[in-house]
Amino acid sequence: MGYPHPSHPKETVVLSQYFGDAGARSYEGWTRRGGYEGLRKALGMAPDAIVEEVKASGLRGRGGAGFPTGLKWSFMPKGDGKPHYLVCNADESEPGTFKDREIMRWTPHALIEGCAIGAFAIGAEVCYIYIRGEFTEPWNVMTAAVAEAYANGALGTNVFGSGKRIEVILHRGAGAYICGEETALMNSIEGRRGNPRIKPPFPAVAGLFALPTTINNVETLAAVPQIMVRGSAWYKGLCLGNPKSTGTKLISVCGHVQRPGNYEITMGTPMKELIYDMCGGMLPGRTLKAVIPGGSSVPIMTAEEAESCVTDYEGVVAAGSMLGSGGMIVMDDTTDMVYQIWRLAKFYAHESCAQCTQCREGTSWTTRILGRILEGQGTQEDLDLLLDLSHNMTGTTICVLSDSCATPIVSGIRKFRGEFEAYLSGARAPVLAGV
Amino acid sequence: MAEDLVTVTIEGTQIAVPKGTTIIEAAKQAGVLVPHYCYHPSLPSPAVCRMCLVEVEKAPKLMPACVTTVAEGQVVHVNSDGARKARQGVLEFLLINHPLDCPICDQAGECELQDYTFQEGRAGTRYSKDAKRYNPVEDFGPDILYVANRCILCTRCVRFMDDVAQTPVLNVSERGDRAFIGIDEDQLLDHPWSGNVVDLCPVGSLLSKDFLHKARAWDLDKAASVCPGCSQGCNISIDTRDDVVVRLRPRPNLDVNRHFMCDYGRMDYRWLNRGDRVEAPLLREGQRLHAADWDTALDRFGQLLRDAAGSAVILASGRMSTESLGLVRSLVDRLDVTAAVRVPLGEEAPLAGIPHLALRRERTPNADGARLVGYGTDWSAALAAVPRAGIVIVLDAALSAEDVAVLQSARAPVVVLGTVADDWLRLASLVLPVTSMAEENGTYVNRDGRLQRYQQARSQPGMARPAWWVAGEVLGGPGPDADAPATAAEAFDLLARRYDAFAGLSHGDLGFSGRVLAGAGATASGSAGGTR
């Protein structure tokens, strides 16, 4: 549901059903709402059968990459005699994304249950949930919920009397964006500097503490109990677009719409319905200019691209962007695109971990050039320079933070070149003097 | 073809390398240098500088050559347009915050940023409108300065301290382009091997205070040598400027010291530049020593040897070459010989990450070579034999006041083959000026029985000659002798004919990394060379 707004008829409410319902936070309240049925069912299944069920559901990673979850789980070695780890990425730091926060705030047990099922499926006894440092309320809610889950036998050395040991350890981040990158996150848990690692080795081979590890997003894991209870066929049936995109997706809509919030849509819902129906359309008197559909790292879409876009993994790619994390930033005609792109670049420059040269230096350099353009000091060569630097920053580094900085710059210049030209020619008055 | 070999084509050259080899190392074998900064063969690879990105056919994007292992049939392009553009991009990014202070930077001339930029960087800057990042110079430790502004964050220094020295005092502090190399509060970079971070730094960011502004890299002459500091025998380069030794640096030898040397060895070079040298042969005439020519001096030495009866004592420095020790020992073969090298002792200082590498307790480079040619290390026993000796030869040994007092009690003539004009030379009947290890060619045998060559780094002072030359001339008897060794290699050939340990070997066999002598154990302290 479009929390904090009431559910819209066009939503498909699965994960967000109890958003705003404080009664769902407790163990007792959660079980009364059907909670932990999925875990009980899973414990009666063979781990491989769980993996197959999730594979059949078509569930894909909700953190941004959209990798098929069951397939990822199947990469974990079997019978290797080593401890395995499940890590839940609850670092949700992608600008524009705020869905995992609500899952943890309102339905902490959905996540714990999903973690327990996932851990069981991949042969892990320990699951770390890495929670973003700034998430004070979700941290408190999760802490209480984990304690309750232990007290009620949903976690511990003998989960629901099955003889299985499943532990959940909460780990609080310290406020670095890059720690949402899965390998940096694992370094952070290990007490190292949160720098992304080189792949290979991939986490399934050598992840957390150099042991086989699977890392999943909050929303992904929270969907797993539903699949266990209602079956993969039901989940797979939640599809309005490409059959490779199934289930529901929480879209965090922010920006210049009437009702910003988290909307749970069936995969394949037209973006136009999301913006104009569920979110109530643009603010009075304004028109849509641009949409960043999947968190700040994905290409910016024009109004036309957004309005004709089908909201699923394939649909957004076809429209020239990516579904990403589902953090949708909607911008209207009053938006200064140059300023917004500068602001995004500034964020990446601040958050670069400083390992790779292109990222460390490129994010800051491009930010300075954009700042200069906003100050009215830009030249035509600066646009070519931005594009060339962006080219050098793309596909050349360990992780994609560098690419993420370049993406809005490239798509911004390509799609909104006129706004840049206005600053260059002096047609638009400088802002940011002295930045 | 062996099963564990992989065939790859790099820049058109097909080579077979062992499975698991990285592209960067395979390229080296194909004769192709992949430009790089963070990669170092003796450190773990973080693949962060992104300089070594190469094009691998069928790969979707450029691959870091330092961590990508070869695959059968792989075709690698180091100089394709894409790889070149990527490198040019990295160079440009590295330079935007790098000061153009090459004229005052010690690294200039041996700077990898300078070299690669010169090779394929942009001619001009596109970063002309913004200020460069500024951070003050930091004092990291007894000999190390950190010039943050020049740092390219390759993290070699951090990894050396973390993984090799295993004393993690350095770190990357801050993020983004604010990042710099930090040092833990209340810590100093004073590990006994910390000087290596200066060599590892590809730019002029970590500097040796000892070498600061001393010489320009292109003014240096380099000689391949062996560290005379201890029995480890680290391979070094002696760098001289205008015939003055200005620094010692490690020279790679994967079997001895990999790419490293300790600070004790690194800093112990000033004795090679001493000005108070014996520069001419000195002959005793009554109460005084008179300068003489070599013919006269050699004749006198021969006469003293022929006149000697009973026993001989040789007090030698362990810094003497095997050739000098061996040939001088030969001079007194007909006598009852007590020969010893002095082995000063110190604290052992291991380099934790490299097995079998340490600053050794035995602070002399050739005690094992000396053992092989008939010397002991029992200094006091040798001293005790001095009063009854028929002749005493001091082979450049540094003598303490007590040693000198014993020498005064000698009834027999004292012949000194020495470098430094010490006061106690007044005791000598004959003083012959010899060269230091920096002024001659020769060999040392390290504690593992590895015979290694060192080469002359500076000219000899005055009339000084290598001690093996002196001994060789005397061995041939009075007058010109065509058979006397004219080079250290010829002197070694004499040893090879005489000592089993060197049998069949010559200088030409040793190359730049030496050769472990047959029969040498993990430590050669027990090995003995029998005479034929």
Contacts of B84 in chain A (CB under 8 A): none
Q: What pLDDT sits at residue A435?
A: 47
Instruction: Tell me the domain boundaries of chain B.
Output: 5-92, 128-219, 282-433+462-485
pLDDT digits (tens, 9 = 90+) for B292-306: 999 999 999 999 999
How many whole angstroms separate alpha carbon B524 and alpha carbon A379?
72
Is the pLDDT score of B431 beyond 80?
yes
How many whole angstroms separate alpha carbon A313 and alpha carbon B35?
39
Q: B153, A176: Cβ pair inside 8 Å? A: no
The two structure tokens encoding residue B190: 């004073």
Is the pLDDT score of B529 beyond 70?
no
The least confident of A218-222, A358-362, B525-529 is B525-529
Q: What pLDDT sits at residue B530?
A: 33
Exposed (0-12), middle (13-18) or buried (19+): which is A296, by Cβ within 10 Å? buried
pLDDT digits (tens, 9 = 90+) for A298-309: 999 999 999 999
ipTM of the complex model = 0.94
Is the pLDDT score of A205 beyond 80?
yes
Query: CA nearest B127 in A: which residue?
Result: A365
Q: What pLDDT sits at residue B277?
A: 97
Q: A360, B90: Cβ pair inside 8 Å? A: no
Is the pLDDT score of B291 beyond 60?
yes
Q: What pLDDT sits at residue B532?
A: 32
Question: Is B62 part of the contact surface with chain A (CB cutoff 8 Å)?
Answer: yes
Q: A395, B96: Cβ pair inside 8 Å? A: no
Per the CB < 8 A criterion, the answer to whether A307 and A289 are in contact is no
pLDDT digits (tens, 9 = 90+) for B338-349: 999 999 999 999
Nearest to B82 by CA among B112, B58, B59, B61: B61
Residues facing residue A86 across a β-bridge: A127, A214
Which amino acid appears at position A147 of this protein?
Answer: A
Is the pLDDT score of A66 beyond 60?
yes
Interface test with B, best of A192, A193, A361, A381 (most B CBs within 10 A): A361
Q: What pLDDT sits at residue B531?
A: 34
The mean pLDDT value for B468-473 works out to 97
Q: What pLDDT sits at residue A5?
A: 86
The least confident of A71-75, B90-94, B482-486 is B482-486
Domain B128-219, CATH among 3.20.20.70, 3.90.180.10, 3.20.80.10, 3.30.70.20: 3.30.70.20
Contacts of A356 in chain B (CB under 8 A): 48-50
Interface test with A, best of B175, B181, B184, B203 (most A CBs within 10 A): B175
Is the pLDDT score of A394 beyond 60?
yes
Interface test with A, best of B177, B181, B184 (most A CBs within 10 A): B177
Contacts of B64 in chain A (CB under 8 A): 198
Is the pLDDT score of B138 beyond 70?
yes
Question: Is B81 part of the contact surface with chain A (CB cutoff 8 Å)?
Answer: no
3-state SS of A157-193 is: CCHHHCCCCEEEEEEECCCCHHHHCHHHHHHHHCCCC
The mean pLDDT value for B208-236 works out to 98
**pLDDT level of residue B1 (50, 70, 90 thresholds):** very low
Q: Which strand ranges, in their side-by-side order, compose the sheet holding A124-131? A: A167-172, A124-131, A84-90, A213-217
Is the pLDDT score of B71 beyond 80?
yes
Fold of the CATH domain B5-92: Ubiquitin-like (UB roll) (3.10.20)
Minimal C-alpha gap between B148 and chain A (Å): 14
pLDDT digits (tens, 9 = 90+) for A8-63: 999 999 999 999 999 999 999 999 999 999 999 999 999 999 999 999 999 999 99
Is the pLDDT score of B250 beyond 90?
yes
Report in angstroms the alpha-carbon separations of B471 from A98, B313, B479.
86, 15, 14
Per the CB < 8 A criterion, the answer to whether A345 and A352 are in contact is no
The mean pLDDT value for A176-185 works out to 97
The mean pLDDT value for A174-184 works out to 96
Check if B5-92 and B128-219 are the same fold.
Answer: no
Mean predicted lDDT score pLDDT of chain A: 96
Per the CB < 8 A criterion, the answer to whether B407 and B192 are in contact is no
What is the CATH code for B282-433+462-485?
A: 3.40.50
